[in-house]
Amino acid sequence: MSKELVDLVHNLGSPRVLVVGDAMLDRYVWGDAERISQEAPVILLRAERREERLGGASSVATMLRALGAKVMLAGIVGNDHDGGRIRQMLTDLCIDHEAVVTDIDRPSTVKERYVGRAQHRHPQQMIRVDYEDRKSISDAIRQQIMVVIQSQLKKIDIVLISDYDKGVCTPGLLSEIISAARSKGIKVVADPIRGHDYRKYHGCSAITPNRLEAGLATGRTLNDMNAVWESANSLQEKLDLEAAIITLDKDGMALKHRDGRAKHFPTRPRHVYDITGAGDMVMSVLGLALAAGADYEQAIQLANIAGGLEVEKIGVATVTREEMLRDLMQPNHAAASPTKVMPLESAIQEIDYRRRLGQRVVFTNGCFDVLHAGHVQYLQEARAQGDLLVVGLNSDASVRALKGKTRPVQAMTDRSMILASLQAVDFVVIFDELTPMHLIERIRPDVLVKGADYSKEDVVGGAYVESYGGRVHLATLHHGHSTTNLIDRMRAA
């Protein structure tokens, strides 16, 4: 655990952040990819539900709000229903959108994704449909945005530019914003587009291109750290940056500072579920930390952690300060498996992200005192019933109440870590009650699994799960495996 980073999280406060860039609406249509259409050789998707999220620069604003920042968004929307939805969602999140101007000459930017499950499982994105006009904003729109920004800049702690190349971040607008911010001593950090010409970011405090973007901007292939340092140095000097920060996916981040510092910040290995949104999360936390007064090195380390937490989630998801603290407080930043063990509220948040992808949640529970081959086979069968497996684990007190004073043989921390090391197990949640009913009611699994030595009528929570359309699965008994018999044999040995 890094005490400096823990202290930084505790002292982030509520900085005021201006996010400038391309507001978008991400729409998802979920369903079953049932068969081939009779009209044409295409997959027929039977749609079940829709979901809308804020994307682009408005996604960065959303992440910052979840982290406790006060946020103002500057950009454009169209004079249409989707523009209204974007504004309403910003309002619901308490994000100031006074500087989001309505452009009657273009549609709101929407990315619509169709996600289908094959055989009611394994959701896959089938197609993405974009509604957009990428032409540069007019001078009149630019002036409207700047009038609001100029009036609010004195209240701002940092400016973040989230450029998705949809027409908002023109050289003219960025030049005005950078000049106005620098005159007031306000840092400007830009997440740039992919391209060869980065002159419009000249004068920013820092930019955060990824490996490919930095390579394209400097004419290099960044396949080793020497090339990374050459590219970072070129960007820092040519664009008059305080710092060039290159994100290197699984290899962390590299910093080249004006004062001569050149430092690589590796990141620890993660279970990568989805890289979507990782760049936005890094940008958000980097900006938040800098706004709170952190040095670039501390800000990058914290952003590395937040980016790692983001890739462990499905889709564009938010990360909280509590999650960063929990990650920091793991002994020696342990390997990924202990992160599977989490409090119920955190588990529910993680499970919700997976559900948004259309994944089916399986739940089972037990003491798992001395893990044996029968347990492993049981958990593998349980996992095969859906897309992720949540295991409710009896606490030490709960095991004693059920099994007697001599149990458990292994402490709760050991039992939970062993379970978390199994590939079949996605999350472990510890509970103190004699039954897992409370967990079942909160998690609402699609499938509830118990051993075949139970009848469906006797399974705790079975009737509840079936009441909302879930099902109960009785897993095969593997004879010859018994925790009690195993403990007796060990004691007799």
Q: Which residues are catalytic?
A: 280
Q: Select from 80, 82, 81, 27 the least CA-distant residue to 55.
A: 27
Q: Tokens standing for 124? A: 């896959």
Give the DSSP letter string of 288-330.
HHHHTT--HHHHHHHHHHHHHHHHTSSSS----HHHHHHHHTS
Amino acid of residue 38: Q
Give the DSSP letter string of 171-192.
HHHHHHHHHHHHHTT-EEEEEP
Q: What is the DSSP letter of 210?
A: B
Task: Return left, alpha or beta for 247; rule: phi > 0 is left, psi -120 to 50 is alpha, else beta.
Answer: beta
Alpha helix (H) residue ranges in 201-258:
211-218, 225-238
- SS3 state of residue 50: strand
- SS3 state of residue 359: coil
Polymer length of the chain: 493
Locus of tokens 């510092």 = 261
CA distance to 115, 131, 189, per residue, from 53 (Å): 15, 15, 24
Q: Tokens standing for 161? A: 């530019």
Name every residue whose Cβ is closer than 8 Å to that of residue 351 and which is 6 or more positions away in sequence: 361, 388, 390, 427, 443
Residues 309 and 342: their CA atoms lie apart, in Å, by: 13
Is-contact 351 440, C-beta < 8 A? no
Q: What is the DSSP letter of 12?
A: -
